[in-house]
Amino acid sequence: MIKASVIGATGYTGAILTDLLGGHPNVEVRALTSASYVGRHVGEVFPHLREDGTYVEYSLDVVAGSDVAFVCYPHAEASRVVAQLVDAGVRVVDLSADFRLRSVSQYQEWYGFAHTRPDLVAEAVFGLPEVYRADIAKARLIANPGCYPTGMLLGLLPVAREIDDLGVIIDSKSGVSGAGRSPSEKTHFCAVHANFAAYGEVGHRHTPEMVQELSAAAGHALRVSFTPHLLPVERGILTTAYFRPRGGSRGADAWLEMYRSHYVDEPFVEVTERMPSLTDVAYTNYCRMTVREDKSAGLVKVFTVIDNLVKGASGQAVQNMNCMFGFREAAGLERKV
């Protein structure tokens, strides 16, 4: 049994992590920190989580002694706490964007802050187990991927070398929980219900993460045009990706077979012939996908679905922990959360 803590445990991702860790066969929860709910029991705030601790204020003392800490702080706020914990010998899975980009200057460009720990940026491992499993096992610091990049990358990595120089078009549609628990005009029920729109139509912050990892897989720089949309659902992201295959048409079956063989051993990726939908994977850590060829237009279309809060955040964080500590990769992730 290892000891795990959650820093910022009362947002959506923190709550799901709390539940996953509370039900994990190899984990004992050490500290759950919260700014707003100090002293309150988990069950008062979130009915039915599988963990019944009490929220405490964050300090190094209450977390020290943990084998691993999950940091669920906003971008730019996380890095200070992450650094403090890593320096103190606690392995960290950071759910913010603060260590996802390899180029230090990009934090200024995309997130508007000067990163003070280039050493940790260099050391951090991008936490997509389907790619970096071996590095994750040895890492002190995991940069857990963003929700949109997770679904997009899993859908394109098998064909990264086939994408022509025009790059990819990523049309993503996400549920409202991606915007977090804080109430705003944009998340008011009456603004979202029966509605649908794009947002962040050019230059969404998840773009550089997509470019970085897709280009790494392709072996050369690839362009990504990313457009997120807001769905009137709570959970899930469906991404429709379009690219022109460098080698021309292969036929639908060949593409499907390429995907199947790429992911044959993956516990959480499922390639299907039929079209996946959000409820196929809601509340689970699965990514489900299919691929089609539009021969007359010279395009390949890839469709992936994930639960943005599970495979797109907290479930993937636990999957990373499982890799870090040599547990079975699906441990604690078999069931709906």
Residue ranges binding a copy of itself (CB under 8 A): 12, 23, 47-48, 166-167, 169, 171, 173, 176-177, 181, 183-185, 187-199, 201-202, 223-225, 227, 229, 231-236, 238, 240, 242, 244, 275-284, 286, 288, 292-294, 296-299, 301, 303, 305, 335-337
User: How remote is the C-alpha of 274 from its chain's centroid?
Assistant: 24
By C-beta, is 306 or 324 nearer to a copy of itself?
Answer: 306
By C-beta, is 81 or 281 nearer to a copy of itself?
Answer: 281
The Cα 95–Cα 313 span in angstroms is 7
Residues 101 and 42 sit within 8 Å (Cβ to Cβ) = no
By C-beta, is 5 or 308 nearer to a copy of itself?
Answer: 308
By C-beta, is 3 or 301 nearer to a copy of itself?
Answer: 301
| DSSP summary character for residue 111 | I
The b-or-e profile of 112-146 (16+ CB within 10 A means b, else e) is: eeebebeebbeebbbbbbbbbeeebeebbbbbbbb
Nearest approach in angstroms of CB 58 to a copy of itself is 22
Pick the closest to residue 227 from 216, 215, 240 (CA basis). 240
Nearest approach in angstroms of CB 85 to a copy of itself is 29
Q: Which of 72, 147, 287, 323 is catalytic?
A: 147
Nearest approach in angstroms of CB 169 to a copy of itself is 5
For 318, the enclosing helix (H) or strand (E) is: helix 315-324
Q: Is 147 a catalytic residue?
A: yes
Contacts of 134 (CB under 8 A, 6+ apart): none
List, in sequence order, every residue forming a beta bridge with 287; answer none if it has no partner. 269
Pick the closest to residue 299 from 166, 188, 116, 113 (CA basis). 166
By C-beta, is 113 or 199 nearer to a copy of itself?
Answer: 199
Phi and psi at 233, nearest 5°, equal -135, 160
By C-beta, is 138 or 336 nearer to a copy of itself?
Answer: 336
List, in sequence order, every residue forming a beta bridge with 289; answer none if it has no partner. 271, 304
Nearest approach in angstroms of CB 68 to a copy of itself is 23
Q: Which two tokens stand for residue 243?
A: 């690219």
Q: Which two tokens stand for residue 272?
A: 């299907």
Nearest approach in angstroms of CB 93 to a copy of itself is 23
Look up tokens 């996802």; give the residue: 100
Nearest approach in angstroms of CB 234 to a copy of itself is 5
To 10 degrees, the CA torsion angle through 161, 163, 169, 174? -30
Reduced to 3 states (helix: H, G, I; strand: E, B; else coil), residue 190 is helix
By C-beta, is 132 or 303 nearer to a copy of itself?
Answer: 303
Nearest approach in angstroms of CB 167 to a copy of itself is 6
Q: How far does the chain reach from its first CA to its final CA, in angstroms?
A: 21
Q: Which residues are catalytic?
A: 147
